Amino acid sequence: MPAHRLLLLLGTLTACVGQGAVLRAGSHDLRLSADGKLEIVDSAGGALTDVRMVAGVGSADVTMQVGSFRFDDIQGDLRVSNRAQLLSGGDYGPAVFALFDGADMLGTLTLLPNGDSLDLRFQAAEGVNRVGVVAACESDDHFLGAGQHALDVDHVGEAFGLWVSEPGIGKSDTDAYPADWFTRGTRHSSSWPLPWVLRPQLSHGLLLDADGRVDLDLCASDASAFSMVAWDQSAVTARFVAAETPVGVLSELWASLGENPALPPPWVFTPWGDAIRGPEAVDERAATHRAASASVSAIWTEDWRGSFNSAIFGYHPAADWDLGEELYTDAADQADRLQDQGFQWLAYFAPFVTEGTETWTSAVAADALIHDEAGEIYRFTGFFLEPVSVVDLSPGSPGRDWALSYMTDCLDLGFDGWMADFAEWLPHDAVMADGSTGALAHNRYPEWWQEVHRDAIAGTDATFFARSGWVRSAKLAPVVWAGDQRTDFQADDGFPTVVALGLGAGASGVPVWTHDVAGYQSATNPPADAELWYRWAALGAFSPILRTHHGNESLLNHQFDSDAETTARWAELTHQHMALFPYRYGLARQAVETGVPMVLPPVLLFPEDDPARMDGWMLGSALFVAPVLEKGATGRDVALPPGKRWLDWWSLQPAESGFVDVPWDFIPVYLAEGSIVPTLVEIPDTAVEAAADALLTLAEADSQRRVFIFGAGGSFVEADGTRYTLQGTPSAPAELAFTGASGVVNLGGARLVIEGTVERSYSLVLVP
């Protein structure tokens, strides 16, 4: 029996069960009311009340342009269950009910344990194409999650559709379609939506495991109820997930979604640079990192397959899927040179295939592309107004092996991974090799895209990073990034939205998340200036991964090598990032093993904090990061999450909420009471073990630690299993040295227990 045992209280029982009778499905007690309403209660007293299932029919007109989708003339005739009859159920088995709307049977509901979660599996009656769930709202409700959204973290009072799409260049502040809807996103247009809501105040969440579009109405149309309704299907599973804490809810969600992924290799969590425009430019940027003593282990080269210039979108990768030999004449030698200098080398893939290219000819011959209803190759207008299609990645399609072969060839050239871009553009009316149509395949397409990449890198030291996703993408993509923000401070899609996107990803269970320093998109706004770069790069240093991006106006954007001062600052930031490697890599292991994301909304750890805040995040449970998000600002008000004492990370002095001066070369960061944070003493040049002997590698720097301990009750586990536990309550500050793999150190009136297998020299810093 889990600690948070669920109790389903369905009011008074129908006559077929008997007044007061209790059924059991696994570890869950079930009761049934005459009007078919469920109440799901967790041990903390939070409840999902008045739960009923929805079934009906609906239709809409759908238009796609450049990866954006417009849904017009939306019709729906939905019915809600108001009577239930037990069909079967007993001890340790599922309970099955027939659901009715009056005399009409709507379908059957099976209540089935899924680990410590509970699945509500609803099969509607014949003729239904929309199904879902409705439940009661609380008077002071909050709904986090729903994927990555640029303008919201708490979605209470909103109603919007979840459909994987281009997020847009810029954002409307409503979900109504603007005149330029095909370029400017609506409020909730997202590359990574998720039919999941987390209610932190109740310590539970609800996932609608659907294929089609999902409509959320979170106490908007009716302040007393919220609903999640899936389109174009007659069966759906609503998964109720509860735990003692909101972070525990994310762990339970993670556990319910299948096998855990592998922990990415250490170099993934070191700073990444980028370099384009040919081998000489790549070598030059690599040399700049090393001359500045920047701690960089990876360089990403987007144009590895060639390039072209667009009048609107600037410098851009070419359309083919293999090496652009006119630009990179000998990639294998380049890869060897970079590795000797301590760099992994990453490339780029997107699922588009452009008509008229060699790749198109290859894809047609392999029957690797999607089709239309007439059985012809489905062509549509691509990003650069050219005719394109996308690879058919449905299970069993020849397109999977076709795409996999190109990725394998890329690895054979010496690349160590790539950006797995796009996957939002599958047309709603495409026909897949397995017979499914885009209506149900569209949202699953990012998962299929990521499955192929996962298979390509299996058993290697490579990785990939993705921007689009659906229900299972968090377990498929080793790294997720926020997408293509504006190279500006604009609130609709610029730097400030990065925080909202990261918080949404964290509340949605994305384990490893990052963003482009300093944005990408300059089509409708100025290129990045020095101020933006400094502010954005500082936030990157306190992100899971620090990664630069040249942007689509690479010759105009301010970048790490624009001037000597910026290059020096870049080196400093890479050192700050690498100093935290033991902490960040420990968080990464925790994330893939337990589902606790590296970036978290503060309210998930500090219940009295504002669920809607979008001005900072927690990097793990120890560090609160508070970037300056406003252009021209020389400081900001910092509201520290309530309930604990805080230290300024930089000075280790007590910190309070209030105004803080923040020059360009500074970012406010705070350490929470009850935390242990291990750091590196020496900053390595690289995590690439095959690097030249003159470079200090992570493996060599790993033999020393400086460990910061604040207050009582702290514990932390590094990725290699080294565990730190503070026993007792410290009464005085202390700094001590210790050498060994394991041991007990008396420290400021408390005992620090170190349990590990790696011999290290420790410098221990305690603040009581």
**What are the extents of the domains in the chain?**
7-256, 678-767
Dihedral (CA of 616, 617, 618, 623) sign: negative
HSE toward the beta carbon, residue 236, CA cutoff 13 A:
30
Is residue 559's pLDDT more than 60?
yes
What local confidence, expressed as pLDDT, does residue 367 receive?
98
Q: What is the mean pLDDT of residues 392-417?
A: 98
- Tokens linked to 491: 């609130």
Q: Following DSSP, what letter does each residue of 370-385 receive, concatenated?
A: -B-TTSSB--EE-TTS
Helices (H), 242-326: 246-256, 279-291
Query: Which range has the worst mean pLDDT, 12-21, 68-77, 278-287, 624-633?
Result: 12-21
pLDDT over 90, % of the chain:
87
Are 329 and 279 within 8 A, CB to CB? yes
In 66-174, the DSSP E strands lie at 68-80, 83-88, 95-101, 104-114, 117-124, 130-136, 144-147, 159-162
pLDDT per residue as tens digits for the range 146-169 = 999 999 999 999 999 999 999 999
Is residue 104's pLDDT more than 60?
yes
pLDDT per residue as tens digits for the range 2-20 = 333 444 444 333 333 433 3
What local confidence, expressed as pLDDT, does residue 113 receive?
84
The closest of 674, 680, 744 to 709, measured between CA atoms, is: 674
Q: What is the mean pLDDT of residues 13-39?
A: 53
* Amino acid identity for residue 186 in this structure: T
307 or 57: which carries more pLDDT confidence?
57
Average pLDDT, the chain: 93
Q: Starting at the earlier edge strand, list the strands of the sheet with 617-619.
A: 599-600, 617-619, 623-625, 669-672, 646-648, 654-655
Is residue 37's pLDDT more than 90?
no
Is residue 498's pLDDT more than 90?
yes
Contacts by 733-740, CB closer than 8 A, 24 or more apart? 733/766, 733/767, 733/768, 734/764, 734/765, 734/766, 735/763, 735/764, 735/765, 735/766, 736/764, 737/761, 737/762, 737/763, 737/764, 738/762, 738/764
pTM: 0.96
Is residue 716's pLDDT more than 70?
yes
Is residue 514's pLDDT more than 70?
yes
Q: What is the mean pLDDT of residues 27-44?
A: 66
Rounded-to-integer distance, Cα 478 and Cα 513, Å: 9
Q: How does DSSP classify residue 584?
A: H
Contacts of 150 (CB under 8 A, 6+ apart): 167, 171, 185, 190, 492, 493, 497, 500, 501
pLDDT band at residue 116, thresholds of 50, 70 and 90? Answer: confident
pLDDT per residue as tens digits for the range 646-666 = 999 999 999 999 999 999 999
What local confidence, expressed as pLDDT, does residue 10 receive?
41
pLDDT per residue as tens digits for the range 586-618 = 999 999 999 999 999 999 999 999 999 999 999
Question: What's the maximum distance between 2 C-alpha atoms anywhere in the chain?
Answer: 81
What local confidence, expressed as pLDDT, does residue 92 receive?
54
What local confidence, expressed as pLDDT, does residue 35 receive?
76
Count of beta carbons in the 10 Å neighbourhood of residue 436: 16
581 or 27: which carries more pLDDT confidence?
581
What local confidence, expressed as pLDDT, does residue 19 receive?
33
Is residue 199's pLDDT more than 80?
yes
Contacts of 552 (CB under 8 A, 6+ apart): 313, 314, 315, 316, 520, 521, 522, 523
What local confidence, expressed as pLDDT, does residue 18 receive?
36
Q: What is the mean pLDDT of residues 692-710?
A: 97
Query: Which range has the worst mean pLDDT, 94-98, 147-151, 200-204, 281-285?
Result: 94-98
Q: How does DSSP classify residue 413?
A: T
What local confidence, expressed as pLDDT, does residue 311 receive?
67
Are 331 and 683 within 8 A, CB to CB? no
Are 83 and 97 within 8 A, CB to CB? no
The closest of 143, 268, 247 to 595, measured between CA atoms, is: 247
Q: Residues 342, 421, 539, 175: what is their CA dihedral angle, to the nearest 10 degrees? A: 180
Of the chain, the end-to-end C-alpha distance in Å amounts to 38
**Secondary-structure class of domain 7-256 per CATH:** mainly beta
What local confidence, expressed as pLDDT, does residue 32 receive?
60
pLDDT band at residue 315, thresholds of 50, 70 and 90? Answer: confident
Q: What is the mean pLDDT of residues 203-226?
A: 97
Most confident of 55-59, 108-112, 310-314: 55-59
Residue 461 burial (10 A CB sphere; 0-12, 13-18, 19+): middle
598 Rama sector, left if φ>0, alpha if ψ -120 to 50, beta otherwise: alpha
What local confidence, expressed as pLDDT, does residue 254 receive?
98
